[in-house]
């Protein structure tokens, strides 16, 4: 998966003239501050070079995670959102992802760090349609209202908020979501824990689940494991340098939840892990309304075997494709 050419070009233009050493140093400093402060204390980004380093190193993964989660979520819906509120928008990766999937008419981005907002707005000025017209609001999500929109997206936001404030933010986001709320978190035990908390609160508030769950019962992974998925993102030369990697791609692990106003016709089985392919058969772990199942299919199963073999974590299979 790649970011849109217009976004990549816009980012490269903003980075033109900024010394590589400065970007690498800023990217490393931001990473170190995250680790030293802990996930619940987002270090402030005040300098333009830091915002650019953050955009270059994190936008591809955030774009990929939101794009993948949103595509899976829309499979259960009969209508499509036309307006978006991107809360805790950073430099706008989630908005770019949503615009790549949907025919958006209106985008509002909410970000409390002014330098991040300015960088995101400058990047979007090179986009088209709703991206170019996007409204940027310099507000703190924890204390400010969220404008109503068909779709509200919070990507990598809850992991930066603590306790009762997080609960209030989830409730506020749901109140603002006219059609659906998409939450994307890191694919870690803590990120999954935030998703589970949001899931409980939203179900209690009358929301319905569109994805990734195929049911609205308690999560069978809870207290035993964590539910997460992976998307593969292409890396540019600069991205490899900033992340200190040599591979031409990055695998972003993420957890997500899509809550909607109207009840979905949930059906099928969600693949939870990459299929284990052996000689002559494939084994897949799937989440179903009856719990988690490990299903084995052999070449004798024909098309079912072929579909299972090609599946990946996050793929939704119909019941007749696995039995």
Separation in Å, CA 277 to CA 29, 269, 281, 299, 300: 41, 18, 6, 11, 15
pLDDT at residue 265, as a whole number: 79
Residue range 22-74, pLDDT digits in tens: 777 777 777 666 655 554 545 578 889 899 988 988 899 999 999 999 999 99
What is the rounded average pLDDT of the residues 114-136? 96
pLDDT at residue 21, as a whole number: 78
Burial class (CB in 10 A: 0-12, 13-18, 19+), 184: buried
pLDDT at residue 240, as a whole number: 64
Residue range 235-271, pLDDT digits in tens: 766 666 666 666 677 789 999 999 999 988 777 899 9
From the CB of residue 299, how many other CB atoms can be counted at a distance below 10 Å?
A: 12
pLDDT at residue 125, as a whole number: 95
Residue range 293-315, pLDDT digits in tens: 999 999 888 888 888 889 888 99
| pLDDT above 90 (res 76) | no
């Amino acid at each position: 998966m790649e970011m849109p050419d217009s976004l990549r070009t816009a980012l490269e233009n903003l980075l033109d003239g900024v010394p590589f050493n400065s970007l690498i140093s800023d990217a490393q400093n931001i990473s170190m501050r995250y680790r030293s402060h802990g996930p619940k204390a987002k270090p402030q980004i005040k300098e333009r070079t830091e915002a650019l380093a953050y955009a270059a190193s994190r936008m591809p993964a955030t774009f990929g995670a939101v794009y993948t989660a949103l595509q899976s979520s829309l499979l259960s819906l009969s209508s499509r959102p036309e307006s978006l509120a991107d809360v805790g928008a950073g430099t706008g990766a989630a908005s770019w992802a949503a615009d790549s999937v949907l025919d958006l008419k209106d985008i509002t981005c909410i970000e409390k760090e002014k330098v991040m907002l300015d960088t995101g707005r400058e990047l979007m000025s090179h986009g088209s349609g709703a991206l170019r017209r996007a409204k940027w609001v310099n507000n703190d999500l924890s204390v400010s209202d969220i404008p109503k929109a068909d779709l509200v997206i919070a990507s990598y936001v809850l992991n930066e908020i603590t306790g009762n404030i997080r609960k209030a933010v989830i409730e506020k986001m749901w109140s603002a979501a006219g059609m659906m709320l998409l939450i994307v978190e890191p694919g870690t035990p803590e990120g999954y824990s935030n998703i589970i908390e949001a899931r409980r609160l939203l179900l209690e508030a009358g929301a319905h689940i569109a994805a990734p769950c195929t049911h609205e019962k308690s999560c069978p992974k809870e207290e035993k494991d964590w539910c997460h998925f992976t998307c593969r993102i292409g890396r540019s030369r600069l991205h490899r340098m900033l992340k200190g990697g040599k591979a031409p791609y990055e695998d972003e692990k993420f957890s997500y939840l899509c809550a909607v106003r109207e009840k979905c016709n949930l059906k099928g089985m969600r693949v939870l892990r990459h299929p284990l392919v052996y000689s002559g058969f494939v084994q897949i772990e799937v989440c179903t309304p009856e719990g988690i199942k490990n299903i084995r299919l052999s070449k004798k199963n024909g098309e079912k075997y072929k579909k299972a073999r090609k599946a990946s974590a996050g793929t939704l299979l119909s019941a007749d494709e696995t039995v």
